Structure 1
Amino acid sequence: MNYIDVFNGDADGLCALHQLRLENPVDSELVTGVKRDIALLKRVNAQAGDEITVLDVSLDKNRDALLAALDAGAKVRYFDHHFAGEMPQHENFEAFINTDANVCTSLLVNAYLQSAYLPWAVAAAFGDNLFDSARNAAQPLNLKDEQLNQLEHLGTLLNYNGYGVTLDDLYFTPQDLYEKMKPFENPFDFIAASPAYQVLSDGYADDMEKAEVSEAVYLDEKVAAFMMPDEAWSRRVSGVYGNALARIYTDRAHALVTVMDNGNYRVSVRAPLSNKIGADELCMSFPTGGGRKAAAGINDLPKAMLDDFITAFKDTYS
């Protein structure tokens, strides 16, 4: 029997996998990539008897590969909070999917494991910009404010590491970062003892300082779009900078538009925290778009469609 873990390379995917494998350690094949690399199941050559766990990637974007794995005789367990579309019906398929805007995959795994590793789920919720959900989930832990702030920063850093067009943009590949997390049952021990944490913390501080002088493409009280240059730092910071803006301007929607080396754009959208809807539908209306209600993106927006996107963005949230 082969164990295969397919997971998003961001905080939510990493922490979801870490919780599951703390509970049930196995020697598994890891399949992941940068945060936007979500069509991951097609990389799996599924065989009869394989046990595949999928974490934090849209079922709708992996439907054909999922059906192929089930037809091959593999068992698939699926945890996610993104748009799923029609749910397959198969005896070898077990789904834990909830698209509520206040839920993330790690919180679904936490419920499945009856809060066995709750601090990691709290960190993941912070990383997914679900601050209220993170604080609510953390209540049984009776943490001090300083500890809660540590989990917030950890989640932000794990999420920050997942952004990039290629793995070369990242400080650590998601596989490597998971291996560095793996020895730590307690996230506070990881914060205190892992050199990787300090590397990410320093990189995040440097990149955020650069992002704060980004040029506004459009700006009013309801929506803001910023243009980011074709640089590794801007690709790394685009998602977490959008999250930070969303927390500061809670009634405003945000879009970060990053220039790509092919001349097109990579777009990261955050719905207002006061109205966490619409980001998925907006982005899915453009080629290569997808995501969830509160946060979504477009991987490769044609240059000629930028004005159309800005118009649709304003229409969605104005």
Structure 2
Amino acid sequence: MHFDVFNGDADGICALIQLRLNRPLAATLITGIKRDIQLLDKFDVNSGDRITVLDISLQKNSARVNQFLNQGAHIFYVDHHQPGDIPKHPHLKTLINTDSAVCTSLLVNQYLNGKYPLWAITAAFGDNLNHSAEQLAATLKLSQTELETLKNLGIYINYNGYGSCIDDLHFAPDKLYREMTGFQSPFDFINDNHDMFTQLEQGYQEDMANAQRITPEYQSHAVAVFILPDTIWARRVNGVFGNFLANLNPDRAHAVITHNKDNDYQVGVRAPLSNKTGADELCSAFPTGGGRKTAAGINHLPGDKLNSFINKFEDFYS
């Protein structure tokens, strides 16, 4: 049996699309909302099973990786988050690069020798790696309209992955993947699924309009903190709103905070685009925190720790 395990955001989805265009096969899909990263806990394996894992932290899944390897499974693991100690095992193959200009789909694009670059460009835009996306696009001589279309699609797919549960999303990530996979290019998908694209676009624009009415809870020359209301639209938009703020003020770090159903907070941090580092270090100092250098988060921040977070955030980037 084969399992395809992937983050429910643009990077995870577009990485798997590339791999399955290159090598179609029947697989059990394991995915979830963007913050649902301990996906290996959702299934069990038998000896000889094969697992492809895309865009989730090896460090957060190390126990299950070791367990699966010991049970005789074969694992192909591609990611750009901090991996921790990578197991050495003949049944484990890894492509891991934590460079701030790299995402999982770009790694897959390199692995496949640039076979499906349009999907990698879409994912890079979704991960707010605009410069990396534009560099790859420059090799293809895309028009400005085509480039903007890929950028928008990447943003919309990424936006769709955020929420506290699947019901918050416009489309479950496995459904979105199934609708997108098989198309040689994102343009073919858009042409064939215009209603789905339009729904994502309209949802994104409405939610972003709501977010842009929110004033900062705390702001200095170094950081800004926004607390969004306890609504579904706020949980959907928190990630892309963080990217929007980062692009708007590239010298400032940003934190976007939403309410969890457990009566605590979920935090998304974006490092300054002029200094793409430290978001993972800052968030990892809190339980349930982690991520990558440019973008990281805390899944559960107790309400009484909010001021502590803001103080550490300010101190870290001042």
TM-score using structure 2 length? 0.98
Task: Decide whether the 8 Å contact of 2:162 with 2:235 is kept in 1.
Answer: yes
Corresponding position of 2:73? 74
Corresponding position of 1:286? 286
SS in 2 for 1:215: coil
Task: Decide whether the 8 Å contact of 2:101 with 2:129 is kept in 1.
Answer: yes
Task: Decide whether the 8 Å contact of 2:76 with 2:93 is kept in 1.
Answer: yes
| Cα root mean square deviation, aligned | 0.8
1 CA distance for matches of 2:199 and 2:183? 17
SS in 1 for 2:280: helix
How many residues end up aligned between the 2 structures? 317
Corresponding position of 2:187? 188
Corresponding position of 1:315? 315
1:26 paired to 2:7: no
1:213 paired to 2:213: yes
2 CA distance for matches of 1:191 and 1:129? 21
Cα deviations by residue, 1:54-96 (Å, 9 ceiling, x for unpaired): 0000000000000011001000000000010111000000000
SS in 2 for 1:312: helix
- Residue 317 of structure 1: how far off its partner (Å): 0.8
- Residue 252 of structure 1: how far off its partner (Å): 0.5
Corresponding position of 2:94? 95
Task: Decide whether the 8 Å contact of 1:180 with 1:196 is kept in 2.
Answer: no
Which range moved further: 256-265 or 287-296? 256-265
Cα deviations by residue, 1:112-144 (Å, 9 ceiling, x for unpaired): 001110000000000000000100111221101
1 CA distance for matches of 2:180 and 2:30? 16
Cα deviations by residue, 1:220-279 (Å, 9 ceiling, x for unpaired): 221100010111100000000110110110101000011223321000000000000000
Task: Decide whether the 8 Å contact of 2:17 with 2:182 is kept in 1.
Answer: no
- Residue 215 of structure 1: how far off its partner (Å): 3.1
SS in 2 for 1:141: coil
- Residue 302 of structure 1: how far off its partner (Å): 0.5
SS in 2 for 1:214: coil
SS in 2 for 1:216: coil
1:255 paired to 2:255: yes
Corresponding position of 2:16? 17
Corresponding position of 1:237? 237
2 CA distance for matches of 1:123 and 1:108? 13
The letter for the 1-side match of 2:273 is L
2 CA distance for matches of 1:259 and 1:42? 25
SS in 2 for 1:49: coil
Determine what percentage of the aligned residue pairs are the same residue: 52
1:125 paired to 2:121: no
SS in 1 for 2:56: coil
2 CA distance for matches of 1:142 and 1:262? 48
Cα deviations by residue, 1:136-183 (Å, 9 ceiling, x for unpaired): 111221101111111100000000000001001000010000011013
1 CA distance for matches of 2:219 and 2:187? 39
SS in 2 for 1:305: helix
2 CA distance for matches of 1:229 and 1:183? 38
1 CA distance for matches of 2:229 and 2:81? 28
- Residue 193 of structure 1: how far off its partner (Å): 2.3
1 CA distance for matches of 2:215 and 2:260? 16
TM-score using structure 1 length? 0.98
Q: 4+ residue runs of structure 1 moved beyond 4 angstroms?
A: none
Corresponding position of 2:61? 62
1 CA distance for matches of 2:171 and 2:192? 17
SS in 2 for 1:79: strand
Which range moved further: 64-73 or 179-188? 179-188
- The unaligned stretches of length 5 or more in structure 2 are none
Which range moved further: 260-269 or 148-157? 260-269
2 CA distance for matches of 1:225 and 1:121? 31
1 CA distance for matches of 2:221 and 2:147? 31
The letter for the 1-side match of 2:174 is Q
